[in-house]
Structure 1
Amino acid sequence: MKKLITLGLILILVGCGATKDFNGIAGKKALKGEWQVDQLEFFGAEGTYKAFMFDFADSYCFKNSTWMFIPNNYTGKFTIASNSSNCESTTARIRWSFFDSDTQRYIQFKYTDDKNKSLDPMNAGYRMKVKSLSETNMKIELEVEYQGKPFTVEMSMSKISDNVVL
């Protein structure tokens, strides 16, 4: 019985440690807080890009948006400010998680209601590649298409607060 309890405690400790650094990218403790999108960059073939991101708004609406990640219950939100006549001020609640492949960490999320239930009947969501994540800065990439041509949107964010209140 003593060995079984010891084994259980070891498994709990190993399981809790799984959310730490992944290939040099920090984990949920660093993600905790409120982040602001400082810059959007587009990578792909030459040209002008227009991206409707996360089935929510045009990419230019996400400039200066704020994102909140609450790691103890994996909830959060993002808020878009009205920064032009084409961007409506709005907030979307999310449930997020990390997804780690063999070589890459991703943040994935889905939209939720105020009771954290998925809004999509198919439980669909979105996945962003984490390029870098520290206590103060984060870069994430989103693969999108415009007129059938793929390109990448990179969002550079900086932490503006450690507060996590929905």
Structure 2
Amino acid sequence: MKKITILILLLTVIISCKSTSVGNTKLDNKTERILKGNWIISGVNFPGSNYINVTSFNLGDSKCLINSEWSFISNNNKGEMKLNNSSSVCKDYSSPITWYINKEGNFVFKFINNYKAKEVNNGYVLDIKNVSETSFDLVDKINVAGEIKNITYTFQRK
């Protein structure tokens, strides 16, 4: 009987100390559903944009993102982006993406190209602002002459 009591006590301790995994960092499913669909970047704005060039997402000049096409699928957090602003400065580029709104309310995405999402370690975390059915802004932080400034990507529903 003493062994059974010790065994029950031991099992109780083990079960009560079992850690629980959240496993899901998404919180804002409502915003994700609003973003579902096809979008274009209609503007890229930051202090000094007339005088300096900023490289966005390691793709090239931030102005090359204007008119880029983005699609977001909210039920599986996948999508695609296409740069189609070909010029001597801008190159064509297309990639599948994964994305979600994290528990802090930030927009998180990464280009996955020909890889599985779990194999890609680099991504981007941006503030999401001014969300409506027809537009929203993604805001990134950039270093301009030693000062942190905001760069805003304005999206319009296509």
Gaps of 5+ in 2: 1-23
Residue 28 of structure 2 corresponds to: 19
Contact conserved, 1:42 with 1:49, CA < 8 A, in 2?
no
Query: Cα gap change, 1:40/1:47 in structure 2, threshold over 3 Å: closer, same or farther?
Result: closer
Distance 1:47 1:158 in 2: 22
Residue 34 of structure 2 corresponds to: 30
> Which of the pair has more CA radius of gyration?
2
Contact conserved, 1:137 with 1:159, CA < 8 A, in 2?
yes
Gaps of 5+ in 1: 1-14, 22-26, 161-166
Distance 2:49 2:136 in 1: 25
Q: Aligned AA for 1:137?
A: S
* Superposition RMSD in Å: 2.5
1:60 maps to which of 63, 72, 95: 63
Q: Aligned AA for 1:129?
A: D
Q: How does 1:42-53 map to 2 (within 5 A)?
A: 42-43=46-47, 48-53=51-56
1:85 partnered with 2:88: yes
Contact conserved, 2:67 with 2:85, CA < 8 A, in 1?
no
1:146 deviation in Å?
Answer: 4.3
What TM-score do the two structures reach when normalised by structure 1? 0.70
Query: Cα gap change, 1:57/1:46 in structure 2, threshold over 3 Å: closer, same or farther?
Result: closer
Residue 110 of structure 2 corresponds to: 110
Q: Aligned AA for 1:127?
A: V
Distance 1:80 1:46 in 2: 20
What TM-score do the two structures reach when normalised by structure 2? 0.73
What percentage of aligned pairs have identical amino acids? 24
Distance 2:36 2:85 in 1: 25
Residue 20 of structure 2 corresponds to: none
Contact conserved, 1:110 with 1:118, CA < 8 A, in 2?
no
Residue 5 of structure 2 corresponds to: none
1:112 deviation in Å?
Answer: 1.0
1:67 deviation in Å?
Answer: 1.0
Query: Cα gap change, 1:146/1:119 in structure 2, threshold over 3 Å: closer, same or farther?
Result: farther
Q: Aligned AA for 2:143?
A: E
1:152 deviation in Å?
Answer: 1.4
Residue 139 of structure 2 corresponds to: 141
Distance 2:113 2:49 in 1: 39
Query: Cα gap change, 1:56/1:125 in structure 2, threshold over 3 Å: closer, same or farther?
Result: same
